[in-house]
């Protein structure tokens, strides 16, 4: 006998992974596929969305609650639109959204008109609406596994909390800048819990080539205030794209003296393909940039060690400068400081003038390891200690006193540089307490 079921009245578009599927009115859908994004028309009676499916409902739709990790449930009267790939939802004006479930991040206000969200960001607001972008969760590859404090996951949790807080204040009718100003009048210049905007007052270019540039950015601190950092601490900067709706954070270590008043400076290497770099490249004098901090667990006591050996690569010199500045600025501190600095070429040595000034102190010396410099093609400054080749275990072995002889080794460079140096130190008999990685 032939199947007597009526032909389906609904249009169903099956989707491969990451594509979009749409259900028409009257459609009785099966659970949405993992990672498919689906839209239901009015009158649709959907089953619960499965894990990781993202669903939206049209006006009049009566949806069951979405399961964990599906993102939203729709209210009657809501008029939803299909989300673009991997973005989750867009809300129309007049929409009244219920709170999103775990991992969905936002609720939209009445009157809000949101633009399409970008990949992995969840929702953003359209023209007219000044809704904050939700933070992006870190990728597994963002975590170095080295026990950083704060780790990228801690930063994400903090960002999520801040973002939820900001959404709340917006719902209550208070703008974020108003909040920030309120805080500034009765609090310190900088807070680890909330972002403060600082005005960019100068940009100084240090290096430039086809793939990157390095600049020093100077920010004004109102009222001749200071950051309140201790040695070796860093800040977090946030970028929230008005158009893209993305929220990106990165860490940077101020290079200005810790006690500097009325300003602070950060050195930032701007990469062609870097996510934050793309934003930093657009910075202009007068721009307002959001910072929070300080962060970092490094502690230092004068004369605690006989020698501090700094092993740095590229922009990893920034915390070293802070620590060295602190030691050399205290005439009662007799700690010797030795910097081993790996760069590609001579002209890539960052903050060379500051390092040269430090070299005038009896207890500071620097040695530069150039991996890509042609010995014939550059003119070192008189007295520069230049080596051609890589900063490797043999160098550490020759430079470092034996483990246990009151030496602290500080490490800061790329992720691979850091883990190479840690492995080298351990192979040379140094224990975890003998070194610190920024
Ligand atoms: C505690 C701490 C302090 C820091 N302080 C500073 C600082 O003072 N100044 C500073 O410039 N950076 C500093 N960084 C690094 C900074 O936080 C960013 O990781 C860096 O600016 C790149 O961000 P991005 O979004 O532009 O690039 P991403 O989007 O994160 O990376 C894109 C690509 O850029 C390239 N890239 C990124 N970082 C590096 C790198 N370090 N070496 C080589 N290639 C790289 C890679 O090709 C990468 O694939 C610090 C990091 C930490 C954890």
| Ligand 1 mean position, distance from CA 369 (Å) | 21
β-pair partners for 378? none
β-pair partners for 270? 213
Percent with pLDDT over 90 in the chain: 49
**Total domain count, the chain:** 3
User: Does residue 1 have a known ligand-binding role?
Assistant: no
Q: Which domain covers residue 348, as residue numbers?
A: 307-437
Last residue of a domain, one of 97, 129, 161: 129
Q: Cα separation of 158 and 161, whole Å?
A: 5
Q: Cα separation of 396 and 411, whole Å?
A: 12
382-398 per-position pLDDT tens digit: 999 999 999 999 999 99
Q: Are residues 213 and 248 in the same domain?
A: yes
Which residue reads 């007597």 in tokens?
4
User: Does residue 410 have a known ligand-binding role?
Assistant: no
288-299 per-position pLDDT tens digit: 999 999 999 999
Nearest CA to 315 among 360, 267, 361, 357? 267
User: Does residue 156 have a known ligand-binding role?
Assistant: no
Nearest CA to 223 among 257, 252, 189, 253? 189
The answer to whether the CB of 108 falls within 8 A of the CB of 124 is: no
Q: Cis omega (within 30 of 0) on the bond before 294?
A: yes
Instruction: Examine the pLDDT at 420 and tell me if it is beyond 90.
Output: yes
User: For position 183, what pLDDT does the model report?
Assistant: 45
CA angle 403, 406, 407 (to 5 degrees): 70
Q: Are residues 375 and 401 in the same domain?
A: yes
Which residue's C-alpha comes closest to atom 27 of ligand 1?
274
Instruction: Examine the pLDDT at 101 and tell me if it is beyond 80.
Output: no
| Ligand 1 mean position, distance from CA 112 (Å) | 35
> The domain spanning residue 265 has which CATH number?
2.40.30.10
**Which of residues 114 and 418 earns the better pLDDT score?**
418
Mean pLDDT lowest among 55-59, 314-318, 360-364, 400-404: 55-59
Q: Are residues 113 and 16 in the same domain?
A: yes
User: Does residue 107 have a known ligand-binding role?
Assistant: no
| Ligand 1 mean position, distance from CA 413 (Å) | 9
Last residue of a domain, one of 271, 295, 319: 295
- Report ipTM for this prediction: 0.92
Name the token pair of 259: 């006690």
**Which of residues 24 and 375 earns the better pLDDT score?**
375
User: For position 163, what pLDDT does the model report?
Assistant: 78
Quick one: which H or E segment has residue 39? strand 37-40
Which residue's C-alpha comes closest to atom 11 of ligand 1?
268
Q: Are residues 150 and 286 in the same domain?
A: yes
Q: Are residues 171 and 288 in the same domain?
A: yes
Quick one: which H or E segment has residue 321? helix 317-328
Name the token pair of 372: 């890509």
Average the pLDDT over 187-200 and give the result: 86
Of ligand 1's listed atoms, the one at least distance from the Cα of 413 is 41
Q: What contacts 405, CB < 8 A, 6 or more positions away?
A: 306
Mean pLDDT lowest among 11-25, 153-167, 350-364, 408-422: 11-25
Last residue of a domain, one of 295, 329, 352: 295
Name the token pair of 358: 């430090």
Name the token pair of 272: 């062609």
| Ligand 1 mean position, distance from CA 315 (Å) | 8
Q: Are residues 151 and 256 in the same domain?
A: yes
Q: Cα separation of 108 and 114, whole Å?
A: 8
**In a domain? residue 302:** no
């Amino acid at each position: 006998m032939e199947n007597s079921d009526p032909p389906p009245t609904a249009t169903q578009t099956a989707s491969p992974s990451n594509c979009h599927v749409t259900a028409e009115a009257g459609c009785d859908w099966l659970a949405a596929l993992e990672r498919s994004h689906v839209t239901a028309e009015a009158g649709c009676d959907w089953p619960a969305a499965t894990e990781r499916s993202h669903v939206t409902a049209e006006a009049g739709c009566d949806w069951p609650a979405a399961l964990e990790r599906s993102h939203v449930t729709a209210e009657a009267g809501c008029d939803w639109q299909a989300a673009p790939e991997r973005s989750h939802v867009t809300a129309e004006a007049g929409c009244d959204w219920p709170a999103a479930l775990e991992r969905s991040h936002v609720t939209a206000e009445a009157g809000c008109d949101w633009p399409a969200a970008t990949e992995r960001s969840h929702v953003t607001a359209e023209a007219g609406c000044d809704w904050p972008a939700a933070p992006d969760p870190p990728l597994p590859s963002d975590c170095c596994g080295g026990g950083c404090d704060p780790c990228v996951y801690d930063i994400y949790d903090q960002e999520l909390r801040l973002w939820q807080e900001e959404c709340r204040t917006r719902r209550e009718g208070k703008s974020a800048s108003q909040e920030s100003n309120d805080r500034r009048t009765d609090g310190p210049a900088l807070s680890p819990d909330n972002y403060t905007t600082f005005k960019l007052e100068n940009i100084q270019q240090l290096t430039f080539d086809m793939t990157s540039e390095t600049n020093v950015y100077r920010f004004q601190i109102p009222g001749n205030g200071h950051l309140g950092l201790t040695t070796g601490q860093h800040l977090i900067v946030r970028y929230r794209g008005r158009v893209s709706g993305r929220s990106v954070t990165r860490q940077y270590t101020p290079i200005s003296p810790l006690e500097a008043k009325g300003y602070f400076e950060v050195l930032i290497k701007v990469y062609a393909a870097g996510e934050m770099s793309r934003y930093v490249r657009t910075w202009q004098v007068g721009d307002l940039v959001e910072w929070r901090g300080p962060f970092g667990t490094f502690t230092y006591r004068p004369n605690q060690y006989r020698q501090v050996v700094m092993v740095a690569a590229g922009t990893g010199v920034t915390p070293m400068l802070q620590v060295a500045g602190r030691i050399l600025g205290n005439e009662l501190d007799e700690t010797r400081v030795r910097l081993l600095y790996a760069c590609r070429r001579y002209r890539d040595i960052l903050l060379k003038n500051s390092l040269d000034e430090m070299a005038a102190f009896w207890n500071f010396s620097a040695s530069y390891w150039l991996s890509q410099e042609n010995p014939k093609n550059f003119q070192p400054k008189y007295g520069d200690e230049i080596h051609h080749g890589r900063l490797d275990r043999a160098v550490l072995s020759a430079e470092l006193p034996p483990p246990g002889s009151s030496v602290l080794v500080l490490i800061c460079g790329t992720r691979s540089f850091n883990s190479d140096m840690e492995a080298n130190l351990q192979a040379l008999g140094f224990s975890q307490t003998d070194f610190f990685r920024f």
